[in-house]
Amino acid sequence: MKKIVLTGGGTAGHIYPALAVREKLDKDVEVHFIGGHGMEKEIIRNEKDIIFHEIDTVKLARKLTPKNLLIPFKLFKSIKEAKKILEEIKPDVIFSKGGFVSVPTVLAGAKLGIPIVSHESDLSMGLANKIILRKCDIMCTTFPDTMKSNPKCVHTGQPIRKKIFEGNRNKVYDNDNFDKKLPCLLVIGGSLGAKFINEKVWAYLDKLTKNFNVIHITGSQAKVIHKHKNYKQVEYAQNIGDYFACADIVLSRAGSGAINEFLALKIPMLLIPLSKACSRGDQIENAKLFVSYGFADMLEEESFSEDGFLLKLKNLYETRENYKKTMKNSSNFDASLKIIEILKNVAK
């Protein structure tokens, strides 16, 4: 395997697992990344030894809109762009992390006869990966139950970046605004932010900061910087490992990438998944599965209440050792190495 093309983007969950796989590749492998103009462009261009190629991408809107009628024409253009790039690179294999950004590259790669391995993070397969499944050689899955959906699927687990294990708490927590006697609640809404979680944290900030130092990664949606004792607001954390190192417990959405990183670090989590009103319900499925394993507690948006929210955080902290013990006993293996073995086996 001399050349590999990675593809994916739109959110961090479609980028960082691909980078986790890249970390374990042999040093002499030439690595390319085909993506759109979203956050993948910024993230990948800061990575050494990855050649980034930009194409136009198109996303299906979940609501009825005339823009969806243009998708076939835009997709045709995107596939043509990706095909031209692939013909120049001549990769041995493509690794797709799913999502709408990866679809043109996968379809172009299939036309050129390039072997394709993809990865599904969530318990149920998204629309993009349902399309990709028809064209790829193997679909790797984070959860064993997803593997049962198709004979092409192989359970590998979730690729995890090594930098999340290398955090330095003092780089973030050495802050006079914090009460060093209080535990730390880390709040994460995903790479694009979570409006619902952000608003609830700000609404109950007085009560939260009586019991916790709160580190709040808001995402790019937050337009106002809130100042409060025992509170630190950050839009985006490049050094996410340092923030993870601070956390006694975490409040988060339930994207598979994030919750599997919390699991790897043994951080007890309260999950507020994205509601079905604005998603296909994949985060709800992820959260319920982690609750059934004993890794997390959850609170759905539709049943949210102030008392329930604050009580769940209190209980999560008080029983954190039970969660840590359960997470410690979970099966743990390096998904990146398993995926690389698959890539080598299917490569030209």
Q: What is the pLDDT of residue 331?
A: 64
The pLDDT value given to residue 333: 65
Contacts 24+ apart (CB under 8 A), 151-156: 153/120, 154/342, 156/119, 156/335, 156/338, 156/339, 156/342
- 63 pLDDT band, cuts 50/70/90, is low
Structure tokens, 261 = 């990183």
* Burial call 151-188: b when 16+ CB within 10 Å, e when fewer: eebeebbbbbbebbeebeeeebbeeeebeeeeebbbbb
pLDDT of 330:
78
Highest mean pLDDT among 149-158, 172-181, 208-217, 230-239: 208-217
Assess whether 74 and 88 both reside in one domain.
yes
Q: What angle (nearest 5°) sits at the alpha carbon of residue 220, between those of residues 219 and 225?
A: 85
Residue 36 has what pLDDT? Answer: 93
Mean pLDDT highest for which of 99-103, 134-138, 168-172?
A: 134-138
- Whether residue 340 sits in one domain with residue 297: no
Q: Are 206 and 276 part of one and the same domain? A: yes
Give the single-character DSSP code of 275.
P
pLDDT at 64 over 70: no
User: Which single residue is written with the structure tokens 């593809």?
Assistant: 7
112 and 197 housed in the same domain: no
The model's confidence at residue 182, banded by pLDDT at 50, 70 and 90, is very high
Same domain, 226 and 342: no
pLDDT tens-digit profile of 36-47?
988 899 899 889
3-state secondary structure of 156: coil
Task: Read off the pLDDT of residues 28-37 as tens digits, 9 standing for 90 and up.
Answer: 999 999 999 8
Residue 59 is part of a domain; what is its CATH number?
3.40.50.2000
Residue 65 is predicted with a pLDDT of 65
- 180 shares its domain with 216: yes
- Asked if residue 74 and residue 153 are part of one domain, the reply reads yes
Digit-coded pLDDT (tens) for 289-340: 999 999 999 999 999 999 999 999 999 999 999 999 999 877 666 799 999 9
Whether 311 and 186 map to the same domain: the answer is: yes
Look at residue 69 in the predicted model and tell me its pLDDT: 65
Question: Residue 109: CA atoms inside 13 Å, Cβ hemisphere, count?
Answer: 30
Q: Are 93 and 209 within one domain? A: no
**Whether residues 324 and 338 fall in one domain:** no
Whole-number percent of the chain with pLDDT over 90: 72
pLDDT band at 147 (very low <50, low <70, confident <90, very high): confident
Do 17 and 130 have their domain in common?
yes
Report the C-alpha gap between 82 and 94 in whole angstroms.
12
Average pLDDT, the chain: 91
Tell me the pLDDT tens digit for each residue of 247-284: 999 999 999 989 999 999 999 999 999 887 677 889 99
**Domain housing 173:** 165-328
pLDDT at 46: 87
Total domains, the chain: 2
Q: What is the mean pLDDT of residues 99-104?
A: 93
The proportion of the chain whose per-residue pLDDT surpasses 70, expressed as a percent, equals 94
Q: Rounded to two decimals, what is the model's pTM?
A: 0.88
Q: Are residues 317 and 340 in the same domain?
A: no
Residue range 227-231: average pLDDT?
93
